[in-house]
Every structure is written in C-alpha cells, then in structure tokens.
Structure 1
Amino acid sequence: MELETYIDVCRAGKALTHSVKAGEMDLSTDSGQLVARMLGAAARYESDTKATRIRRASEQSTRAGKWTGGTRPFGWTITGGVPELHTIESKALADACMRVLRGDSLGSIIREMNNAGILTTRGNQWGYAQLAQALERPRNAGLADLHGEIVGPSTFPAIVSENVWRGVCAVLSDPSRRRSQSNKAVHLLAGIAQCHCGGYVRSGTVTTRTGDKRRIYRCSVRGPGHVSKGIEYVDKVVNELIVAVRAAQDRTKAADAGPDPEAERLELEATALRKRQEEAGMQAALGQIPMHMLGTINSVIEKELAAVTTAMARLEETAARRPPTEILPIPADSPYAREWAGMHIDDRRDYLRGICNVVLLPHGKGSTKVFNPDTVQLVIKAPGEGPGPMNSREIERLAASASLESAGTGTFVTFPVDGELVSFQIADAPTNPTDDEGVWLQRLMPLDDSGRARLQRVLDTRAALNA
C-alpha cells in the first residue's frame, strides 16, 4: 500500500529510485513500476511465509506444552527454557486452590498473599482478575491448552492435580458464587442470614427510648412481621454454634479411615482416558489417523474426562464436608473458640456461606424485650450443596419445627394460613374426634403472637355468628 503512494509521488516528480539490491528504478515508466511491484510482492510473500513458519512452530510448542516466551508465569522459574517449580509461588498457588475449594473468597486469599509480600511476576499486588486467571490455567495441573482446548500434557511440572484444578474452575465459574469485590464486611451475618420471609438481613441502627443507639440485623424487605434482632445477641449464638460444629467436624474427620473404592475406580477411569488421549496423539503423529480427526477424538475424550473428574471433585468435597455425627457444646476458652475469634471476618463469613444457612425466626413466646436464642436457627448444609440461600418452603418447615421444639413436649397441630405455617399446642386433647369444633378451639394454645392473634379473630368471628 505504501509502494503505490510512493510510485504516484515519484511519477509526478519524475524522480529516480536507487535501491541497494535492485539497482536503479525509474518509477515514472510502466516497466519500472512493474519491477517495483514484483519485488514488493516477492518481499511480502517471504514475510508471510516466515510469519506462518513462526506461528506453526509456536503452535507446535504450545501443543507440546513447552515454554514459548513472554512473561514468566507465576509458580515456575524458567532456566534455559526449561520450567521448574518456584518454591514459594507454587506453594502459594496450591494453597489458594485448596482455599477456593474450601469455600474461601478470592478477596481473603488476595489479602493474605499481598500481606505476605507474595506479588505477581511483574511485581504488582494481586487483584481479582489476576488471581482468577492464575488459578484457572491448565498448566497448573500439568496440561497444555491451545485456544482454550486441552491438547495434551505440558512440560510445566504440575502444581496441583487435574482433579483439584477442574474443581477450582468449577467453583470460580459457578454463577451463584458471590462476586462482590468492593464492600468491606463489618458484621458477621449481614447479607448472609435470612429472615423467615426468605430475604437477607442487613445491619442497621435503632435508637431506644433512653436515647441509646443499638446495632441490629433487620430484614431488607420493608413492612410489618419481618425480623429485627440485636447484632450482639445473634452473633453470640451463631459463634457458639459454629465453634461446636468445627470441633465436631474435626472429630468426624479423625474417625474416618481407609480409601474410598469409588474414588479409586474414578481415578483408574481417568488414567485410562488420558492413555487413550496419548495414544490418539501418537497415531496422528505416525499418520495412522488424519490430523483433522485428532481434534474430534480429543473433544470426545475431554467430555468423558470432565465428567469423571467432576465426580472425583464431588467425592472429595463430600469427604471434606461430611456432616458431624455429634455436636457438643465447646467452652468459650477452648482452642476452637480462640481460633474462630482470631479469624478475619471475611474468612468467617466465607466459612459460614459454605457450611450452613442461618435463619432468623419471629420472636415467638414471651416478652419481646427478652432475646430468644431459639429464634436463631443454623442449618448445616448437605455435602455438595452450593452457597445459595434456603428457599421459602424449607424455611417454613424449619420455622414450624423450631416452634414445636421450643414449646416442649405435648400434642401439636400446624395450619397453613396466608402462605405461613402457624402451630398450636393442644391442651387436654379430646379423645372423641367428633367433638364440636368449639371444643377443639378452646384447647388450642398459641405458640407465638401471630398464632394468638389469628386464633382470637376466629373465636370473635364464631361468637358473632352464634350471637
């Protein structure tokens, strides 16, 4: 393109061109222009051919998992073109993978790495995008990729197993994972605990009649009937329960022993699939199968391998999240309590999201001026359950169960009213089921203010009709 402009200028000015290799050219003549264009086309062809060779060589090196130059990847050192594990960086990356699988946020991992002085290979502090990219690299598991597709083993020594790497990728790509990168948490349960309506609670401030200010958790949904509880009281209950759960989990892990037969079967299946992948690559290299078929074969094997490694990751998560068999109270001065109190609030919130749901129920029986710890319900999540909230139906069942437990022993009945479950205790239950409904109504004992108000409305309506 530049040559054509140059020819026009030379032709207009009747200028001669002297080149180092082609000698003198008169671009004001047709023959001179032809020679110049032919020399330019030949030079362009040579340049394109060289670029193609370089691109193919780079692609071949990438397929072989070799180092192709550029910025040194975090986790390895490059000596004479040969990658080797970096002692500090590879350990930090492996720890970060384990923490992601455990449910920790990227924010807490970034904070600890930056505080420890572990920087990126460019000497910068870590951010969300940088850490996520570093954790999702296939070479972390000793795999080579080309345009996002796994093409075989890499020459980079693996930092974590393929199973762990795929598990980390699954966690980071989970749409239910919270991705807030700016808000700094102040209160333990804000945005985590749920009101009995299903909405999340937020922190707030109220002023008492004496003019004192109190911090509270209150439902983000406005209107009557939603929870509003003192932060210090709710946090105390949750902290005591979580300490007991952590201690019980340690006891459960200590009691487990022996390999899992299903895990061993999946590991053998994954090994067999990788062998098939290597065999296909060898057959393509020897010309036994067309090269264009190699991508199709790899794609099929990758899908099978992804299913197997996902099952392996789920088994590992299940083993790590096995529900404790017995949860016992733990003293406030125990090592478990001190460890929990010493954790950063981000780490505690991450742990709560991954291990349980917290639901705040209505006050129930007694004076509302006295905090009722039974209204704070902690539900341990099942193995493999995600970090999302409880749905409204589960919360309704939990509320009904909690009401009955706090009421003690006896006979109970629960009614669905206006989308809400209302429970009553039956005093001196009549033995004759055909008794008048008035007999039954007189024996119903409300368990909370809502039930008391509803029952009174029924009794008033019945009395008005009889009158």
Structure 2
Amino acid sequence: MQTRAAEGGARRRVVIYCRISDDREGKREGVDRQEKECRRRAERNGWDIVAVLVENDLSAYSGKPRPEYERMLQMLRSGEADAVLALSPKRLYRQIKDAFDFFDLIVQKNIEVETIKQGRFNLSTAEGRKDARRAAVDAQGESEEISERVRDSKAETLAQGEFRGGPRPFGYESNGVTLRSLICPECSAVEGFDADRRCGACGAEAANLPGSEAWHVEAATDAIIAGESLRSVCSTLAAQGVRTVARRYRQEDGSKGEPESRDWQPSELRKLLLRPRSAGLIDHYGEIIGKAGWPAIVPEDKWRACKAILEAPERRTTTTNARVWLGSGLYVCGVCGETARGSTTGVGGKAKAGEGEKTHRPAYRCRTGKHIVRDAYALDAYVEGLAVDRLSRSDAAELLLPPVAEGPSRQELAALANTLRAKLDSIAADYGQDLITRKQMLDSTAFTRARLEKITAEMVAQTSGSVLASLPLGTEEIAQQWEGYHLDKKRSIIDAIMTVTINKARRGRQPGFVPGSGTGYFDDSTIDIEWKKPR
C-alpha cells in the first residue's frame, strides 16, 4: 500500500506487525519467521523500526480483541509511527470492516504500508483504493469458505459419532477415542478394546485401570452419587496429585502461555462429570443424538444419576465458603421448626475459660435466635455416635436401604434408549425424504421422546439410590472409616437416616454433673432423634 512520501523526505518510522492464527504448540516459529523477513525489508527500505508487535495464536477473523493490533493503530493515529510492515494483508485484517477502517487511517495520516508477499498498494488513486477493497473482500470470503469447510467436516463427523477434534478430553488420549486407560480383568490386557469396552483377546468387559484418568472420572462420579460435594471431590483429587489436562491459557496481553495443568476447581469438575462423552454418548448443542464411536468411561445410567444430582434445582451452586458445621441447615428447632445455624455461645467469662483460652465456643442456634442454643462439639459428637451405631448394626442394610426394584436391567435400559435415539434419527430421515407428513413426523417424534425420557428416568432411579448404598453397612468398618469421611458426606448420611430435633434445654445443671470434671452441660434427653424410612 502506498501513499505520498513522508513529510520532508524524512526516514519512515515503521511498526512491524506479526500474527499467526493457530500455534497450538506455542513455539512461535511462524511469527518469528515473519519478523525476520520484515526486518530485512525495513533495512532495505531504509526505515527505522520503532516497534515489533506480535500476536501469536490469535485469529483476525474470529472477532476477538487483538491488543497489539489496537496498539499499532494508536501509534499510527498519534504519529509515533508512519509506516507498517507485515507478511501479507491477511496478517493485518480478515474482516471487511477492519480493512476499510485501516484504509481510511492510511489515507488520513499518509501512512506507508508494505507487505512482503504483495508489495505496496497505491491508495492515492481511486483505482488503487478499489483494488485494496477488493482484496479485503476476497480475504473475508476466503475465511468464510474455510469456516464452512470446517463446519461441514465437523457435521459429518458428528453424524458418524466420531471425535470432532479439539483439546484432549480428560480420560482419553489426544485422538479423543482411546481411553486412559483400560485393563482386562480376565487376561490383564491393556490395549485392543472395542467401542463397547470388550477385550479383543478374550472378549471380557474391560475395567478402568486403577489410578488412570478414566478411573478418576468414574471415582468422582461415584463420589457425587454417594453424597459428596464437588468441593470435597476436588480436595481428594488434589491430595492424589490429579490435575487437569495441560492447556495453553490466555494471557493478559491476549497471547497464550505455555501449556500448564491446574488443580481441579468445582466448576471445571462439574463440566467434566456432566459431559455426555463420558457415557459414550454424542451431543449436539446440548441434545443427546446417539451413541458415540468411542468407549464410555462410566455406564450411561450411572452418568445420568450423577447428572440428575448435579442439575437438581435445590442443589447449592456456589463453590466458596466451605461448610464447617455438621448440623447447620439439618438440625431442627423443636419450638418453631426452623433449621439451626452455626453460631457461638459464651463459656462464662475469662475466669471460667482459663488463661489463654477462648471465651466463646461454637454452638447451634435457632435461626430466629430466640429458642435454642446448644454446644456444637457435644451435639455433633452425640449425633455422629448414634449414626455410627445405626450404620454398624447387623440389620442396617435391611433397615436403611430401599428394596431392590423389579424391572429391566441397566444394560437392557441402555440398549432400549439407544434404539429410541436411532428411531428419532430415522423419523427425521423419513420426513426429509417426504415419506411421512409433517404431522406424522411431529407426532412420532413426541411419542418417541416421551418414551426415551421415561427410560432415562428409570436409569437414573436405578443408580441414584441412597448415599448409604456405597457404605459398608453392618460392619465394623463404618466406625473405622467415619472420621475419614468428608464433612459433606457425613451431612448427606445423617440427612438420609435421621431428623435431629433440638428442644429447649432445662434450667440448671444436668443431673449427675460433677464440677471440675471438664464436661459441659449437654443433656441428650433434650435431643429427639427420628429415624427415617428408606426412600
């Protein structure tokens, strides 16, 4: 691009602008080559380089902000520079609007623009401006054609149930199909499995290899179904040293840094557990459209049970302010029926507290603050002791777990669900070929979808059983494992087996209390426990 010569024949002050759209490995090789060629051209032209602006792995067509490009425009407007060097016009712009705005600035400020591949456009004449605008239109058209080809390719891949590309999914290799990792429980093979997880050597169904990414996905799914929170599962993964897939995250300057993995956060873990690919399903804009061409990490019924829990309207969605109270929101006031909240209560001043000790202790209060106050440590210990005793009884499973429902197995339900999805596809195909009317298509689709929803609901019901199902009920292991349970899991267990009601305390000391014994005034006769029936 060429305009009039610089004022007074002075040497041009040039900005070198380098950009590459896709640099997944972060090697900068493309932009480095551009810079070298532009530097050689600036030296040949006798121009002074005032800045080299680089945007790596950033598309000019995507519409995302380009900080260095905006900085270049500001330098040109302010007079800090009066020339631009780039590899080609496509490095500078890919959208017509950007190009036309750039052309107006060139003419207004008498800016010299040269590209290595196409030389200079002369914007001092109407013909030159027309050629420049035509080239900009062609550049945007080329970008749109590329976008369409990519979209069509992904649509074809989607229809075939194949991996559509993108970053490596956690639990799978970079091809998006091979699991990390499987093992055959019969012959110990670690490769050669089909999309149904069948071992090619002996035909047995594979299991997720302990300690592998797939194994951790399944363990996290089981933990959510068992009543743990996303936060507690993240803590477990962090303790085990399990981190996210390495990604190149966007930096403040708009570029992408080196690949790095991070500790799991509740929001990221939620997305992982909700993705249909873990159940061997493929989705399109949030709708399950069929079985995928890769093996599932978890059975579909288990995935749907986890999904139902995570998407429940009553589920708390914030991921901060970790719970520190076992009974907050669970224990009930015996006077007004409101749930208890965490608070504090005095111990009788500094004299009774002792030197260096706190004058207040954690306590539960009615949410109205008027009816009940109870020492949190003593009440929690009492409730946990009752829970462990109940869960350790030899008849605990009979008392606490619902009876096994009769009906199709989970494998039969999954097969029926896939059949109904295929039927939805065939209905759409029949309508597309004018074999059925629009009314027939709508009626058949509605009927088939209703059946599919019923089947998926049955799958969820079979797997999303009580949090108690994952416990070693009726054994001494309950007492041994209880202290190791996360607070969220303890809360889920207590909520599943009992209702704790705190009644008004009696005046005076508890009968049998011995001064100086170090015990408090906790009176368990003021606590009512109602055992819940299996649900």
- TM-score, reference length from structure 1: 0.65
- In the other structure, the counterpart of 2:365 is 219
Q: Does residue 137 in structure 1 map to residue 308 in structure 2?
A: no
Given that 2:227 and 2:488 are in contact with CA atoms closer than 8 Å, whether structure 1 keeps it comes out as no
Show CA shifts across 1:102-123 (max 9, x none). 1111121111110000111122
User: Runs of 4 or more off by more than 6 Å in structure 1?
Assistant: 10-13, 15-21, 23-26, 253-259, 290-300
Once residues 65 and 202 of structure 1 are traced to their aligned partners in structure 2, the CA distance between those partners, rounded to angstroms, is: 51
Q: Distance in 2 between matches of 1:51 and 1:291?
A: 34
SS of 2:173's equivalent in the other structure is strand
Equivalences for residues 175-190 of structure 1 within 5 A: 175-179=313-317, 181-190=319-328
Structure 1 residue aligned with 2:291: 153
| Residue 144 of structure 1, CA deviation | 0.9
Matches of residues 97-176 of structure 1 in structure 2 within 5 Å? 97-122=221-246, 123-176=261-314
Q: Structure 2 residue aligned with 1:359, among 501, 506, 526?
A: 501
Over residues 70-99 of structure 1, what are the superposed CA-to-partner deviations in whole Å (9 max), with x where a residue is unaligned? Answer: 3211111135x6432334111111111111
Across the aligned residues of Structure 1 and Structure 2, the Cα RMSD in angstroms comes to 4.4
Q: Which residue of 1 aligns with 2:141?
A: 45
| Counterpart-to-counterpart distance in 2, 1:18 and 1:339 | 70
In the alignment, the residues of structure 2 paired with residue 239 and residue 74 of structure 1 have an alpha-carbon distance, to the nearest angstrom, of: 37
Matched, 1:234 2:379: yes
CA displacement, residues 378-412 of structure 1 (integer Å, 9 cap, x when unaligned): 3344555xxxxxxxxxxxxxxxxxxxxxxxxxxxx
Higher mean C-alpha deviation, range 254-263 or range 306-315 = 254-263
Contact between 2:243 and 2:264, CA under 8 Å: does it hold in 1? yes
Structure 1 CA distance, aligned partners of 2:348 and 2:116? 92
- Percent identical pairs in the alignment equals 25
Would the aligned equivalents of 1:237 and 1:376 in 2 still touch at CA under 8 Å? no
Equivalent residues in 2 for 1:198-213 (5 A)? 198-208=338-348, 211-212=352-353, 213=359
Q: State the shift of 1:214 in Å.
A: 6.5
Structure 2 partner of 1:348: 490
Q: Is the alpha carbon distance of 1:156 and 1:381 closer, same or farther for their aligned partners in structure 2, counting shifts above 3 Å?
A: farther
Tell me, yes or no, if structure 1 residue 76 matches structure 2 residue 217: no
Q: Which residue of 2 aligns with 1:407?
A: none
Distance 1:120 1:189, change over 3 A: same
* Mapped contact 2:279–2:303 kept (Cα < 8 A): yes
- Three-state SS of the structure 1 residue aligned to 2:407 is helix
Looking at structure 2, the residues matched to 170 and 50 of structure 1 have their Cα atoms a distance apart, in angstroms, of 39
- TM-score with structure 2 setting the length: 0.58
Query: Partner letter of residue 478 of structure 2?
Result: Y
SS of 1:84's equivalent in the other structure is coil
Asked if 2 retains the 8 angstrom alpha-carbon contact of 1:17 and 1:27, the reply is no
Secondary structure, aligned partner of 1:176: coil
Deviates more, 1:27-36 or 1:185-194: 27-36
Match of 2:156 among 42, 56, 60: 60
SS in 2 for 1:369: coil
Q: How far, CA to CA, are the matches of 2:327 and 2:220 in structure 1?
A: 24
TM alignment of 1:262-273, pairs within 5 A: 262-264=407-409, 268=412, 271-273=415-417
Q: Distance in 1 between matches of 2:340 and 2:324?
A: 16
Distance 1:292 1:338, change over 3 A: farther
Aligned residues of 2:498 and 2:532 also touching (Cα < 8 A): yes
Deviation readout 1:103-152 (Å, 9 max, x if unpaired):
11112111111000011112210111111111110111111112112122
Q: 1:233-261: per-residue Cα shift (whole Å, max 9, x none)? A: 32232122111222248742699999743
Q: Which amino acid aligns with 1:55?
A: R
Match of 1:436 in 2: none
User: Structure 1 CA distance, aligned partners of 2:116 and 2:243?
Assistant: 52
SS for the counterpart of 1:126 is coil
Q: Quote how far apart the aligned CAs of 1:191 are.
A: 4.1
Q: CA contact under 8 A between 1:7 and 1:33: conserved in structure 2?
A: no
- Equivalent positions of 1:369-448 (< 5 A) are 369-370=510-511, 371-384=522-535
* Amino acid aligned to 2:363: Y
Within 2, Cα distance between the matches of 1:341 and 1:17? 71
Question: Is this contact kept in 1: 2:282–2:292, CA < 8 A?
Answer: yes
Larger helix share, 1 or 2: 1
Q: Secondary structure at the match of 1:215?
A: strand
SS of 1:77's equivalent? coil
Aligned partner letter, 2:342: R
Question: Structure 1: how far apart are the matches of 2:339 and 2:376?
Answer: 17
CA distance in 1, matches of 2:534, 2:402: 18
Is the CA contact (8 Å cut-off) linking 1:10 and 1:16 kept in structure 2? no
| Residue of structure 1 equivalent to 2:188 | none
Shift of 1:163: 1.6
For structure 1, the 5+ residue unaligned runs are: 385-467
